[in-house]
Amino acid sequence: MNLLPKDEKFFELFEKHANILCKASKLLQKGLHSGYPGVSDIAEEMAELEDQGDHVIHDIFHRLRSTFITPFDPEDIQMLATKLDDVLDGIDDVTFRIVAYRLDPIPAAIAELAEVVDQSCTAISKAVSAMRHKKPVLEHCIEVNRLENQADKIERNMLAELFLSQPDPVELIKQKEICECLEMTTDRCEDVADVIQNVAVKNS
Q: Where are the domains of the chain?
A: 9-202
Residues 95-138 pLDDT 10s: 999 999 999 999 999 999 999 999 999 999 999 999 999 999 99
* CATH superfamily placement of domain 9-202: Phosphate transport system protein phou homolog 2; domain 2 (1.20.58.220)
Whether the predicted pLDDT of 4 surpasses 50: no
Whether the predicted pLDDT of 170 surpasses 60: yes
Three-point CA angle 162, 179, 197, nearest 5° = 140
Burial letters 12-43, b for 16+ CB under 10 A, else e = ebbbbbbbbbebbbebbbebbeeebebbbebb
Rounded Cα distance, 95 and 78, in Å: 26
How does the average pLDDT of the chain come out, rounded? 94
Rounded Cα distance, 107 and 130, in Å: 36
**What pLDDT, on the 0 to 100 scale, is given for residue 6?**
57
**What's the chain's length in residues?**
204
Q: Give the confidence band of 7 by pLDDT, cuts at 50, 70, 90.
A: low
Q: Give the confidence band of 179 by pLDDT, cuts at 50, 70, 90.
A: very high
Rounded Cα distance, 116 and 1, in Å: 45
Whether the predicted pLDDT of 66 surpasses 90: no
Give, in order, the Cα–Cα distances in Å from 4 to each of 24, 67, 180.
37, 11, 47
135 by DSSP, 3-state: which?
coil
pTM comes to: 0.94
